[in-house]
Amino acid sequence: MTTDDPAYQALPALGAAPLWRFYGNLFPAEPRSRAVPYRWSWRQLRPHLLHFSETLSLDEAERRVLMLVNPGLTDPPATVNTLYAGLQIILPGETAQAHRHTSNAFRFVLEGSGAWTTVNGERVFMAPGDLLLTPGWQWHDHTHEGDAPMIWLDALDYPLVNALEAGFYEKYDQRLQPVTRADDAGSRQFLHGRLNPVWLAQDGPSSPVTRYTWQETERSLASIADTAHGSDVDGIVLEYTNPWTGGPVMPTLGCRIQRLRPGFRGTGRRHTASTVFNVVRGEGATIVDGVRLDWSEHDTFAVPGWASYRHLNGSSSQDAVLFSYSDEPVMRSLGLYRAESADPGA
Ligand code: GTQ
Protein backbone atom coordinates (compact mmCIF):
# COMPACT_ATOMS: atom_id res chain seq x y z
CA MET A 1 0.00 0.00 0.00
CA THR A 2 1.52 3.39 -0.99
CA THR A 3 1.20 6.61 1.00
CA ASP A 4 -0.90 8.18 -1.74
CA ASP A 5 -3.46 5.41 -1.58
CA PRO A 6 -6.69 7.45 -2.07
CA ALA A 7 -8.34 5.34 0.61
CA TYR A 8 -6.49 7.50 3.19
CA GLN A 9 -8.30 10.62 2.00
CA ALA A 10 -11.69 9.09 2.56
CA LEU A 11 -11.08 8.27 6.20
CA PRO A 12 -11.33 11.66 8.01
CA ALA A 13 -14.80 12.36 6.65
CA LEU A 14 -15.86 9.02 8.01
CA GLY A 15 -14.45 9.75 11.45
CA ALA A 16 -11.71 7.14 11.08
CA ALA A 17 -7.89 7.09 11.06
CA PRO A 18 -5.22 4.44 10.41
CA LEU A 19 -3.77 3.39 13.76
CA TRP A 20 -0.49 2.31 12.13
CA ARG A 21 0.33 5.94 11.31
CA PHE A 22 -0.18 7.09 14.91
CA TYR A 23 1.07 4.14 16.87
CA GLY A 24 4.43 5.46 18.13
CA ASN A 25 2.90 8.72 19.42
CA LEU A 26 -0.04 7.03 21.11
CA PHE A 27 2.08 4.41 22.83
CA PRO A 28 5.48 6.02 23.41
CA ALA A 29 8.22 3.81 24.82
CA GLU A 30 8.37 6.28 27.69
CA PRO A 31 6.70 9.61 28.54
CA ARG A 32 7.96 12.74 26.77
CA SER A 33 6.60 15.77 28.59
CA ARG A 34 5.68 18.84 26.56
CA ALA A 35 6.69 20.83 29.65
CA VAL A 36 10.30 21.99 29.73
CA PRO A 37 12.59 22.52 32.71
CA TYR A 38 12.18 26.16 33.67
CA ARG A 39 12.97 28.63 36.45
CA TRP A 40 10.80 31.71 37.20
CA SER A 41 12.80 34.51 38.77
CA TRP A 42 11.29 36.10 41.89
CA ARG A 43 13.68 39.03 41.63
CA GLN A 44 12.55 39.75 38.07
CA LEU A 45 8.82 39.06 38.50
CA ARG A 46 8.21 40.81 41.82
CA PRO A 47 8.50 44.38 40.35
CA HIS A 48 5.87 43.45 37.73
CA LEU A 49 3.53 42.19 40.45
CA LEU A 50 3.98 45.47 42.33
CA HIS A 51 3.36 47.39 39.11
CA PHE A 52 0.01 45.67 38.49
CA SER A 53 -0.95 46.16 42.12
CA GLU A 54 -0.70 49.90 41.45
CA THR A 55 -2.41 49.96 38.05
CA LEU A 56 -5.09 47.25 38.21
CA SER A 57 -7.83 47.19 40.85
CA LEU A 58 -9.41 44.05 42.22
CA ASP A 59 -12.68 45.20 40.68
CA GLU A 60 -11.04 44.77 37.26
CA ALA A 61 -9.48 41.39 38.03
CA GLU A 62 -11.07 38.52 39.93
CA ARG A 63 -7.57 37.77 41.23
CA ARG A 64 -4.37 39.77 40.60
CA VAL A 65 -2.11 36.93 39.60
CA LEU A 66 0.82 36.44 37.25
CA MET A 67 0.59 32.90 35.92
CA LEU A 68 3.86 31.00 35.71
CA VAL A 69 3.56 29.61 32.21
CA ASN A 70 5.81 26.82 31.07
CA PRO A 71 7.23 27.67 27.59
CA GLY A 72 6.14 24.20 26.46
CA LEU A 73 2.57 24.57 27.77
CA THR A 74 1.19 27.90 26.62
CA ASP A 75 -2.29 26.91 25.40
CA PRO A 76 -3.92 26.26 27.77
CA PRO A 77 -1.34 27.83 30.07
CA ALA A 78 0.11 25.50 32.68
CA THR A 79 3.27 25.25 34.74
CA VAL A 80 3.74 21.50 34.41
CA ASN A 81 1.48 19.03 32.60
CA THR A 82 -1.23 18.71 35.27
CA LEU A 83 -0.55 21.68 37.54
CA TYR A 84 -0.47 25.44 37.64
CA ALA A 85 1.46 27.99 39.68
CA GLY A 86 0.83 31.72 39.93
CA LEU A 87 2.06 34.67 41.97
CA GLN A 88 -0.80 36.57 43.61
CA ILE A 89 -0.57 40.04 45.15
CA ILE A 90 -3.15 41.79 47.32
CA LEU A 91 -2.81 45.24 48.89
CA PRO A 92 -3.87 46.44 52.34
CA GLY A 93 -7.58 47.29 52.31
CA GLU A 94 -8.39 45.03 49.38
CA THR A 95 -10.77 42.09 49.18
CA ALA A 96 -11.00 39.41 46.49
CA GLN A 97 -14.41 38.09 45.40
CA ALA A 98 -15.72 34.85 46.95
CA HIS A 99 -15.97 31.95 44.52
CA ARG A 100 -15.47 28.22 44.29
CA HIS A 101 -14.27 25.76 41.67
CA THR A 102 -13.84 22.02 41.46
CA SER A 103 -10.10 22.49 41.06
CA ASN A 104 -8.16 21.93 44.26
CA ALA A 105 -5.98 24.86 45.26
CA PHE A 106 -3.52 25.98 47.88
CA ARG A 107 -1.47 29.06 48.73
CA PHE A 108 2.14 29.07 49.89
CA VAL A 109 2.87 32.45 51.45
CA LEU A 110 5.97 34.31 50.28
CA GLU A 111 5.78 37.83 51.68
CA GLY A 112 3.72 40.00 54.02
CA SER A 113 1.28 39.53 56.87
CA GLY A 114 -2.19 40.66 57.86
CA ALA A 115 -4.19 38.84 55.17
CA TRP A 116 -6.54 35.93 55.50
CA THR A 117 -8.47 33.63 53.22
CA THR A 118 -11.96 32.67 54.27
CA VAL A 119 -12.57 29.04 53.32
CA ASN A 120 -16.07 27.63 53.80
CA GLY A 121 -16.80 30.11 56.58
CA GLU A 122 -13.43 29.87 58.36
CA ARG A 123 -10.89 32.67 58.36
CA VAL A 124 -7.45 31.20 57.68
CA PHE A 125 -4.60 33.58 58.45
CA MET A 126 -1.39 33.90 56.47
CA ALA A 127 2.26 34.37 57.37
CA PRO A 128 5.35 33.65 55.26
CA GLY A 129 5.95 29.92 54.78
CA ASP A 130 2.37 28.97 55.68
CA LEU A 131 0.57 26.47 53.45
CA LEU A 132 -3.19 27.13 53.20
CA LEU A 133 -5.52 24.62 51.56
CA THR A 134 -8.56 25.42 49.46
CA PRO A 135 -9.88 21.96 48.53
CA GLY A 136 -12.16 21.66 45.51
CA TRP A 137 -15.61 23.26 45.65
CA GLN A 138 -14.97 25.15 48.91
CA TRP A 139 -15.94 28.82 48.88
CA HIS A 140 -12.96 31.13 49.24
CA ASP A 141 -12.31 34.86 49.29
CA HIS A 142 -9.31 36.89 50.41
CA THR A 143 -9.04 39.98 52.64
CA HIS A 144 -5.94 41.99 53.49
CA GLU A 145 -5.79 44.30 56.50
CA GLY A 146 -2.01 44.50 56.95
CA ASP A 147 0.13 47.47 56.02
CA ALA A 148 2.26 46.18 53.13
CA PRO A 149 1.60 44.12 49.98
CA MET A 150 1.00 40.44 50.56
CA ILE A 151 2.33 37.97 47.97
CA TRP A 152 1.83 34.25 47.77
CA LEU A 153 2.26 31.34 45.40
CA ASP A 154 -1.03 29.89 44.17
CA ALA A 155 -1.19 26.28 43.05
CA LEU A 156 -4.14 24.65 41.30
CA ASP A 157 -4.77 21.39 39.49
CA TYR A 158 -6.97 22.98 36.80
CA PRO A 159 -4.86 21.64 33.89
CA LEU A 160 -5.73 18.14 35.09
CA VAL A 161 -9.34 18.91 36.04
CA ASN A 162 -10.01 20.56 32.68
CA ALA A 163 -8.33 17.70 30.80
CA LEU A 164 -10.76 15.42 32.66
CA GLU A 165 -13.60 17.78 31.67
CA ALA A 166 -14.64 18.12 35.30
CA GLY A 167 -14.22 21.87 35.73
CA PHE A 168 -17.08 23.73 37.43
CA TYR A 169 -16.95 27.31 38.74
CA GLU A 170 -19.39 29.45 40.69
CA LYS A 171 -19.32 33.00 42.00
CA TYR A 172 -20.71 33.69 45.47
CA ASP A 173 -23.67 36.10 45.38
CA GLN A 174 -21.88 38.56 47.67
CA ARG A 175 -18.29 39.75 47.52
CA LEU A 176 -17.35 38.03 50.79
CA GLN A 177 -18.91 34.98 52.45
CA PRO A 178 -20.04 35.18 56.09
CA VAL A 179 -17.70 33.87 58.77
CA THR A 180 -19.42 30.89 60.42
CA ARG A 181 -16.56 29.00 62.07
CA ALA A 182 -13.79 29.83 64.55
CA ASP A 183 -10.67 31.46 63.10
CA ASP A 184 -8.07 28.91 61.95
CA ALA A 185 -10.35 26.13 63.28
CA GLY A 186 -9.05 23.51 60.86
CA SER A 187 -5.42 23.89 61.84
CA ARG A 188 -6.17 24.26 65.56
CA GLN A 189 -8.35 21.13 65.68
CA PHE A 190 -5.68 19.04 63.99
CA LEU A 191 -2.61 20.80 65.29
CA HIS A 192 -0.37 17.75 65.46
CA GLY A 193 -2.14 15.44 63.05
CA ARG A 194 -1.58 12.76 65.70
CA LEU A 195 -4.28 13.72 68.20
CA ASN A 196 -7.43 13.86 66.13
CA PRO A 197 -10.82 15.16 67.36
CA VAL A 198 -12.98 12.10 68.01
CA TRP A 199 -16.31 13.88 67.45
CA LEU A 200 -15.37 14.77 63.87
CA ALA A 201 -15.41 12.36 60.96
CA GLN A 202 -13.56 12.46 57.70
CA ASP A 203 -15.48 14.63 55.27
CA GLY A 204 -14.22 14.45 51.70
CA PRO A 205 -10.90 13.41 50.21
CA SER A 206 -8.82 16.38 51.40
CA SER A 207 -7.01 17.26 54.58
CA PRO A 208 -9.10 19.16 57.17
CA VAL A 209 -6.00 21.18 58.11
CA THR A 210 -6.71 24.54 56.56
CA ARG A 211 -3.32 26.00 57.48
CA TYR A 212 0.03 24.28 57.92
CA THR A 213 1.94 27.03 59.72
CA TRP A 214 5.55 27.72 58.92
CA GLN A 215 6.21 27.65 62.66
CA GLU A 216 5.19 23.97 62.80
CA THR A 217 6.95 23.12 59.56
CA GLU A 218 10.21 24.69 60.64
CA ARG A 219 9.98 22.98 64.04
CA SER A 220 9.60 19.62 62.29
CA LEU A 221 12.62 20.29 60.08
CA ALA A 222 14.69 21.44 63.06
CA SER A 223 13.71 18.54 65.30
CA ILE A 224 14.80 15.97 62.73
CA ALA A 225 18.04 17.74 61.81
CA ASP A 226 20.46 15.69 63.88
CA THR A 227 18.53 12.40 63.77
CA ALA A 228 18.48 11.56 60.09
CA HIS A 229 20.56 11.71 56.97
CA GLY A 230 17.48 11.82 54.78
CA SER A 231 17.30 10.73 51.18
CA ASP A 232 20.32 10.78 48.85
CA VAL A 233 18.06 12.36 46.22
CA ASP A 234 16.13 14.89 48.30
CA GLY A 235 17.89 15.34 51.62
CA ILE A 236 15.60 15.71 54.62
CA VAL A 237 12.19 15.68 52.96
CA LEU A 238 8.84 15.77 54.76
CA GLU A 239 5.37 15.34 53.31
CA TYR A 240 2.47 17.48 54.52
CA THR A 241 -0.20 14.92 55.41
CA ASN A 242 -3.94 14.56 55.78
CA PRO A 243 -4.43 13.57 59.45
CA TRP A 244 -7.37 11.31 58.58
CA THR A 245 -5.37 9.18 56.16
CA GLY A 246 -1.68 9.88 56.59
CA GLY A 247 -1.74 10.45 52.82
CA PRO A 248 -1.35 13.57 50.68
CA VAL A 249 -3.14 16.81 51.53
CA MET A 250 -5.46 16.69 48.53
CA PRO A 251 -6.38 13.91 46.09
CA THR A 252 -4.51 15.47 43.18
CA LEU A 253 -1.74 17.37 44.96
CA GLY A 254 1.01 16.29 47.30
CA CYS A 255 3.09 18.92 49.13
CA ARG A 256 6.56 18.57 50.61
CA ILE A 257 9.22 20.57 52.38
CA GLN A 258 12.87 19.62 52.13
CA ARG A 259 16.15 20.75 53.56
CA LEU A 260 19.37 20.36 51.60
CA ARG A 261 22.26 20.51 54.04
CA PRO A 262 25.23 22.79 53.25
CA GLY A 263 27.16 21.41 50.28
CA PHE A 264 24.41 18.85 49.49
CA ARG A 265 24.80 17.21 46.09
CA GLY A 266 21.85 14.97 45.41
CA THR A 267 21.88 11.84 43.33
CA GLY A 268 19.77 11.79 40.17
CA ARG A 269 16.24 10.46 39.85
CA ARG A 270 13.20 10.59 37.62
CA HIS A 271 9.55 9.75 38.20
CA THR A 272 6.31 10.08 36.32
CA ALA A 273 5.04 12.75 38.73
CA SER A 274 5.45 16.37 37.59
CA THR A 275 6.77 18.73 40.25
CA VAL A 276 6.83 22.48 40.94
CA PHE A 277 9.32 23.86 43.48
CA ASN A 278 9.49 27.12 45.37
CA VAL A 279 12.67 28.16 47.16
CA VAL A 280 11.98 29.06 50.80
CA ARG A 281 15.59 30.04 51.45
CA GLY A 282 19.12 29.46 50.25
CA GLU A 283 20.56 29.16 46.81
CA GLY A 284 21.61 26.36 44.56
CA ALA A 285 20.78 24.63 41.32
CA THR A 286 18.72 21.75 40.05
CA ILE A 287 19.95 19.98 36.93
CA VAL A 288 16.96 18.79 34.88
CA ASP A 289 17.57 16.73 31.74
CA GLY A 290 20.91 18.47 31.21
CA VAL A 291 19.49 21.97 31.85
CA ARG A 292 20.89 23.81 34.86
CA LEU A 293 18.22 25.76 36.76
CA ASP A 294 19.98 28.15 39.17
CA TRP A 295 17.69 29.23 41.97
CA SER A 296 17.58 31.53 44.97
CA GLU A 297 14.98 32.70 47.48
CA HIS A 298 11.32 32.59 46.33
CA ASP A 299 12.18 31.44 42.79
CA THR A 300 9.83 28.83 41.33
CA PHE A 301 11.00 26.03 39.06
CA ALA A 302 9.45 23.14 37.16
CA VAL A 303 10.65 19.55 36.90
CA PRO A 304 8.47 17.86 34.24
CA GLY A 305 7.35 14.27 34.62
CA TRP A 306 9.95 11.64 33.75
CA ALA A 307 12.65 14.33 33.52
CA SER A 308 15.88 13.35 35.32
CA TYR A 309 16.91 15.77 38.04
CA ARG A 310 19.29 16.31 40.88
CA HIS A 311 19.53 19.08 43.48
CA LEU A 312 22.66 20.97 44.50
CA ASN A 313 22.94 23.29 47.47
CA GLY A 314 25.21 26.10 46.24
CA SER A 315 26.37 27.02 49.74
CA SER A 316 28.89 25.17 51.88
CA SER A 317 27.68 26.91 55.05
CA GLN A 318 23.91 27.51 54.71
CA ASP A 319 20.94 25.17 54.34
CA ALA A 320 18.68 25.40 51.33
CA VAL A 321 14.97 24.81 51.94
CA LEU A 322 12.60 23.90 49.10
CA PHE A 323 8.82 23.67 49.13
CA SER A 324 7.36 21.49 46.37
CA TYR A 325 4.11 20.08 45.09
CA SER A 326 3.41 17.36 42.57
CA ASP A 327 0.74 15.18 41.00
CA GLU A 328 2.21 12.07 42.62
CA PRO A 329 -1.12 11.25 44.36
CA VAL A 330 -2.81 11.07 40.94
CA MET A 331 -0.07 8.90 39.49
CA ARG A 332 -0.16 6.57 42.47
CA SER A 333 -3.94 6.25 42.65
CA LEU A 334 -4.10 5.42 38.95
CA GLY A 335 -1.28 2.89 39.11
CA LEU A 336 0.92 5.12 36.93
CA TYR A 337 3.64 6.07 39.39
CA ARG A 338 7.10 4.91 38.34
CA ALA A 339 10.45 6.08 39.64
CA GLU A 340 14.07 5.12 39.07
CA SER A 341 17.60 6.39 39.51
CA ALA A 342 18.66 8.51 36.52
CA ASP A 343 21.53 10.82 35.71
CA PRO A 344 20.37 14.22 34.40
CA GLY A 345 23.78 14.91 32.87
CA ALA A 346 25.56 18.29 32.85
O1 GTQ B 1 -7.10 32.97 44.70
O2 GTQ B 1 -8.92 31.87 44.31
O3 GTQ B 1 -4.07 31.88 40.95
O4 GTQ B 1 -9.35 31.03 41.88
C5 GTQ B 1 -6.15 31.10 40.19
C6 GTQ B 1 -7.49 30.89 40.44
C7 GTQ B 1 -5.92 32.05 42.38
C8 GTQ B 1 -7.79 32.25 43.96
C9 GTQ B 1 -5.39 31.67 41.16
C10 GTQ B 1 -8.04 31.24 41.66
C11 GTQ B 1 -7.25 31.84 42.64
For each successive 10 residues of the chain (346 residues), what is the average pLDDT? Answer: 82 96 93 98 98 95 96 97 98 98 98 98 98 98 97 98 98 97 95 87 95 96 87 97 96 98 97 98 98 98 98 97 98 98 93
Q: Best substitution site from 63, 116, 118, 161 to test ligand 1's pocket, by max atoms within 8 Å of Cβ?
A: 63
Q: Looking at the 3D structure of the chain, how many domains does it have?
A: 1
d(CA 44, CA 68): 13
Alpha-carbon torsion (278, 119, 136, 213), positive or negative: positive
d(CA 313, CA 77): 30
Taking the centre of ligand 1 as the mean of its atom positions, its distance from the CA of residue 211, in whole angstroms, is 17
Has residue 12 been placed in a domain? Answer: no
Minimum CA distance residue for ligand 1 atom 8: 63
Q: What's 250's domain CATH number?
A: 2.60.120.10
d(CA 327, CA 240): 14
* Domain residue limits at 85: 29-341
Has residue 152 been placed in a domain? Answer: yes
Straight-line distance from the first to the last Cα atom of the chain, in angstroms, rounded to the nearest whole number: 45
Has residue 36 been placed in a domain? Answer: yes
Q: Residue 72's pLDDT is what? A: 98
d(CA 308, CA 300): 18
Q: Does residue 76 have a cis bond before it (omega within 30 degrees)?
A: yes
Has residue 213 been placed in a domain? Answer: yes
Has residue 346 been placed in a domain? Answer: no
Q: Residue 3's pLDDT is what? A: 65
* 269-271, strands of its sheet edge to edge: 291-295, 284-288, 309-313, 269-271, 339-341
Pairing outcome for strands 38-40 and 300-303: antiparallel
Q: Residue 227's pLDDT is what? A: 81
How far is CA 232 from each of CA 81, 185, 190, 241, rounded to the nearest angstrom?
26, 37, 31, 22
Q: b/e per residue, 310-328, with b = 16+ CB within 10 A?
A: bbbbbbeebbbbbbbbbbb
Has residue 10 been placed in a domain? Answer: no
Q: Best substitution site from 154, 177, 300 to test ligand 1's pocket, by max atoms within 8 Å of Cβ?
A: 154
Taking the centre of ligand 1 as the mean of its atom positions, its distance from the CA of residue 240, in whole angstroms, is 21
Q: Residue 193's pLDDT is what? A: 78
Which residue ranges have their beta carbon within 6 Å of ligand 1? Answer: 63, 65, 86, 88, 140, 154, 156
Is the CB of residue 270 less than 8 Å from the CB of residue 339? yes
Has residue 22 been placed in a domain? Answer: no
Has residue 7 been placed in a domain? Answer: no
